[in-house]
Amino acid sequence: MYKKILLAYDGSDAGQKALLDCGELAVWAKSELHLVAVMPSAMSFVGLEGGVYDVELEEREKKKYRAVLEDGLQRLGGCGFAAAHGEVVTGEAIDEITKYARKIAADLIIVGHKHLDSWAARWWRGSISGALIEHAPCSVLVVITP
């Protein structure tokens, strides 16, 4: 069964639904639960020549993503699941989630997903959950939020 579950948590409505489902599944399977929040890089690219690194932006973003992660851990604690681990990582979402899953030898990755109404919104945003299925080292559960 799923002994180590990784939840990619972003604090969105879809992420919160996945968090609650994840907690229930972890309790049922007596799993070790890990939350990971993926913070985009603070590097801003300027043309083809290079980029600019903004230290202040990175610090603000770290605080924001740490708060998202702490919120997730508190919500799990409120549901009676206080033994979860959490970490904020920096980089591209798919790369970082799969790298973290390998690091902890996860048996299952859980991610929330909200259906987008327009084709333009779906095209512009892309699908983290769809790409994750292609790259994950283990099973992926996508929790749909209407």
25-56 residue pLDDT tens: 777 777 888 999 988 876 554 555 556 667 78
- Give yes or no for residue 73 having a pLDDT over 80: yes
Would you say the pTM of this structure is higher than 0.85? Answer: no
Pairing mode, if any, of strands 85-90 and 4-8? unpaired
Q: Output 22-27 pairs: Cβ under 8 A, ≥24 positions apart.
A: 22/110, 22/143, 23/75, 23/76, 23/79, 23/81, 24/79, 25/108, 25/110, 25/141, 26/2, 26/81, 26/84, 27/80, 27/81
Furthest-apart CA pair in the chain: how many Å? Answer: 52
Tracing tokens 């979860």 back to the chain, one arrives at 84
pLDDT at 26: 74
How much is the average pLDDT of 90-114? Answer: 91
pLDDT at 120: 47
37 strand-pairing partners:
88
- When the candidates are 3.90.1300.10, 3.40.50.720, 3.30.70.20, 3.40.50.620, the CATH number that belongs to 4-145 is 3.40.50.620
- Give yes or no for residue 115 having a pLDDT over 50: yes
Q: Which of 131, 19, 43, 38 is nearest to 93 (CA)?
A: 38
Q: Which of 128, 105, 134 is nearest to 18 (CA)?
A: 128
Structure tokens at 53: 């690194």
